[in-house]
Amino acid sequence: MPKAVKQKNINLIPLDDFESSTTGRILKWALSSFRVMVIATELVVMSAFLSRFWLDARNSDLNEELEISKAQVGVYIDVETSFRSYQKKLKVAKAMYLEPKMSDYMSTFSKTIPQDVSLNSVSIADNQLQLRASAFSENSIAQFLINLEKSGGFNNLNLTQISTSADNSNMTVFTINGGVGSQAAPAKK
């Protein structure tokens, strides 16, 4: 029988004292850890690079949607301009419609004026009344003023000027100032 051969393990990588030292093991661990960190960083950079393509596509889609929306709004500019113009006209028409007419005031004057009083001029502007008239007696002036106040179409009536007429010494010329408005407009019957 052959003699048993003793086997020897041969290690071709030389064992260095540095690898077995604490510093060597820390350095070996650091190098392998940094390798993992470099790979992780490369993955992050590649994902950022690839996501850029998705973000560029999304950006171009949003720009197209914005241009389409601008075109749609642009189509309605003329419609909106004319609509606003009509609204302004309707607002003016509504204000004129709701504002009492001079004929309503004249109707009130004709119902409240005494027989010997005659109107010379009537001016209504900015809800202010200025009425100039002439009368043969002071009682008629007082009665006219009372009748106007009772009519409900006027407020804050004041007799501001009283003088004798230059044409007829028997006639008294007077001016009445006061307010007219929505709360003081004459009632329509």
pTM of this prediction? Answer: 0.45
The partner residues of 158 in beta bridges, in order of sequence, read 177
pLDDT tens series, the chain, 189 aa: 567 777 777 766 656 677 778 888 888 888 888 888 888 999 999 999 999 999 999 999 999 999 999 999 888 898 899 999 999 999 988 877 776 677 777 777 778 888 888 888 888 877 788 889 888 888 888 888 888 888 877 888 888 888 887 787 788 888 988 888 644 444 444
